[in-house]
Structure 1
Amino acid sequence: MIIDAHQHVFWHGRDDTGLIADLDEHDIDLAWLLTWEIAPAEDSPAYHRVLNPEHLRPDGTHAGIVLSDLIKVRNRAPDRFILGYCPHPCLGDAPSLLEAAHRMHGVRVCGEWKFRILFDDPRCLNLYRKAGELGMPVVLHLDVPYLPEKMTGRQVYQSAWYGGTVANLERALQVCPETTFIGHAPGFWREISGDADEAPSNYPEGPIAPGNRIEQLLERYPNLYADLSAGSALRALKRDVAFSRDLLERFQDRILFARDYYGGELLAFLRQLGLSDAAWSAIIQGNAQRLVPLDASPEPASTFALS
């Protein structure tokens, strides 16, 4: 079995039929289907071309990848998808919305968390604690708010930031030890090298410097996992193939195969690494099954009542 632990639908031009065709093409049995709620103030028009035009708001902003679309797709092919959902921590009562989605619609994953708010904001911590209480891993997208200018080192603001830095992530890991977090995206994977603070790009290249913070965080916090989705993880792993193979072997119980979009490039790369059978099995499906067991289901809606 192969489980894609980070996927979307009505995304990059593919509806549910297109997504299932892609899963079939690459022999992927199951995918975690994740939302991305976009608040009006966080809208990035550059993303509009890859999102479902049905969800454009009257003000010209986009609602993102919405739960209602995911529910329809999951209901059409329940054996192919695990449902994820992450409400915006600043809009409404996010912990209650997450619990309602869990009880009513069988949501099993809190994700994708991708918001322009610091990862350790108290409103976020409340949401993480609820996810931990419900046994739901939190899939987070991290993009740093500042990058150094190449020539001068001057810190340049990045308008499309999400979560802050790994320091914000670490504080959340410390205060929410019962919650499982899954790191993802450029702001996370750039930390594969110890010189990340000096890198002027979201996608650094070149040799891996000692002292990387991904290893440090994985060693310190058993509630941190990492997924291999999007170009950020694959680019990071390709910087030093021998180093990456060792990293995946040593942390094989904390890494998840995931794509975020389509195609077989990541699978091909992982197959070329020559991982041990144990590491391959854990990364490709075992860790995902441990975090979200396939034979478990949420409590029925009838047990969830207003007081």
Structure 2
Amino acid sequence: CAAQRLGKALQKKYPFLDIVSGAKEIEHFADTLDASGLFNAPGQEHNLLASGLTGYVTIMRGCNFACSYCIVPSVRGPVKCLPVADILADAAQKAKAGAKEIMLLGQTVNAYQFENTSFADLLNQVSRLPGVERVRFTSPHPIYFTPEFLAAIKDNPKIARHVHLPVQSGSTKVLQEMKRGYTREIFLEKVRALKDCGFNISTDIIVGFPTEMEDDFKETLSLVDEAGFFAAYCFKYSPRLGTPAAKMKLLPQNILEERLDILLNKVRGLSDAAYQAQVGTVQEVLLESENKGRSSGNFWVKTSKSYPVGSVIKTTIKKADGTLLFARD
């Protein structure tokens, strides 16, 4: 986003930068490199997979929301969904190259709609590709989790039972000032519906938004308890130049630091409890090494035996230690 927004100004400020290329130019980045004359190695295409097991597939670009703290919409533009055929071809190519899991990417990924194909339709189509054992997606927006969406995917075992669902605040007042497009009650309604379908939920939370008062922060703490997140990424608010929130008066840093510490302590406790609750359950695990992998619900699991990398096994959890489950296999 910084490259897109600041462009050549970054090179002027930091002369050691050879190329500055924003998100909108990513499709043409290879041409940019060629034109720069900085590289003279012969061109060669590479299929890049994060671990050899996960294939990342972009399905849309841009965002139609206007969160008051976020610079993304102004630098990436409105939502543009990629054609279904292109997405399926990309996912199939990654599966053929060895990916067992496909991760669908988009700024508000569950808003995907291309012609008559909805996001639920796309998930189901990707899951049927040869070689695909599991499908994940990030990052969704709460309002797009509808009963129709959940009904369309709830019986598909290849769709991972984990959703990273950013809430940002537990206060309806702050959510409105952030322009998030939902209330505390609506968010919790989505959480309950997802959990009813067996999904584990992690989230993002911002503490110290300029208008967040002590009571607002307490509402965030109570929402964390009520939602029962198994993980949360927590951040102190920092202004982004060019956003409406950047014009607001900042809270003192000591308040942000104190609130972040309180929130992190609460999240650690919930995470420990979530892992302990898995003891005795049967988990389906995709092995990312010979004896360690992730469950459909995104818990890390260590096995007592070794298996071929990429195997999918069902195993019973005998112990939890921190953020790691130990299997009895």
* Bigger Cα Rg: 2
**Of Structure 1 and Structure 2, which has the larger fraction of its residues in strand?**
2
TM range (shorter): 0.3 to 0.5
- TM-score between both structures, scaled by the size of structure 2: 0.43
Task: Report which structure shows greater RCO (CA 8 Å, sep ≥6).
Answer: 1
**Structure with a larger share of its residues in helix:** 1
If the length of structure 1 is used for normalisation, what is the TM-score?
0.46
